[in-house]
Amino acid sequence: MSPGSPTAAPPTPAAAPGTRRRLLAGASALALATLAAPVLAQTRDRRAPLLDAILRDDAQDVRTALLRGADADRPDDEGTPPLVLAAREQAWNAARALAELRGTALDATNRQGANALMYAALHGRLDFVRFLISRRAEVNKTGWTALHFAAANGHADVVRLLLEEHAYVDAESPNGTTPLMMAARNGHPTVVRLLVEEGADPTPRNEAGLGAADYARLAGDPALAGWLAEREDAFRRRHAPAPGTVGR
């Protein structure tokens, strides 16, 4: 059939350069999406056995899931890393299996800023706090700390260990709350006295305008509130500028 025949198909017009680039980009994006889909699905599939093993506190199944490709640091859908999930749920066998793995991010946090050491401190697990520190978990961090959590639940042995490991005794939460305030607020006089004896400053106020003595009073312990008020006055006197030095 000759090119001039009325039944010949018209030639396909050449795409403009810009159009051609957009078509190629779209095709590339589609190809990448097609390739990525099974990879993401496989990642989710590998993650599920690990999370299930953690919730069952099965250390052997945790190790098996890791050997099969599960990522020890990949957060769940709520943004919680596996080690933090294990500590939060008090799955200590699973937590130890994760923490023993070389390369696990011991200081990873969830979306609330809490890490495994903080949950171990909250639950009073002196053994696991000591274990994480031996694995080089950081005792201090910005914001809420393990010392806050231990003080909040009155775990004096954990508080003492953290202080021995150079935990900052006057660490401030995002709203200015200190471990001493947390101990006073939740009615733990032993921890309150321990923190003060270890040098905690009883004078700060948080963003709510409350100090440790205020929290002890609100917790229904007027004796402790009075003791803290006395320590506060003594602290102010001890750290007041020497006469004649103000303004120099």
CATH superfamily of 41-112: Ankyrin repeat-containing domain (1.25.40.20)
Domains 41-112 and 139-239 share a fold: yes
Count of residues in the chain = 248
Three-class DSSP category at 201: coil
Query: For position 80, what pLDDT does the model report?
Result: 97
What's the sign of the alpha-carbon dihedral 107, 108, 111, 115? negative
User: Which residue matches tokens 């599939």?
Assistant: 45
Q: For the domain bounded by 139-239, which CATH number is listed? A: 1.25.40.20
Query: For position 48, what pLDDT does the model report?
Result: 92
User: Which residue matches tokens 């229904």?
Assistant: 220
Nearest Cα residue to 59 out of 50, 68, 48:
50
Distance CA 76, CA 46 (A): 12
Query: For position 241, what pLDDT does the model report?
Result: 74
Q: What is the pLDDT of residues 140-194, one digit of tens each?
A: 999 999 999 999 999 999 999 999 999 999 999 999 999 999 999 999 999 999 9
Distance CA 36, CA 181 (A): 50
For the chain, the structural domain boundaries read 41-112, 139-239
Nearest Cα residue to 171 out of 146, 152, 189, 194:
146
User: Would you say 173 and 143 are in contact if contact means Cβ atoms under 8 Å apart?
Assistant: yes
Q: Both tokens of residue 152?
A: 């909040």
Distance CA 212, CA 72 (A): 39
Query: For position 239, what pLDDT does the model report?
Result: 83
Rg (the chain; Cα; Å)? 29
Q: Both tokens of residue 34?
A: 């097609």
Distance CA 216, CA 10 (A): 89
User: Would you say 195 and 187 are in contact if contact means Cβ atoms under 8 Å apart?
Assistant: no
Residues of the chain with pLDDT under 70: 1-46, 242-248
Query: For position 245, what pLDDT does the model report?
Result: 59
Distance CA 175, CA 193 (A): 23
Distance CA 121, CA 117 (A): 6
Query: For position 130, what pLDDT does the model report?
Result: 98
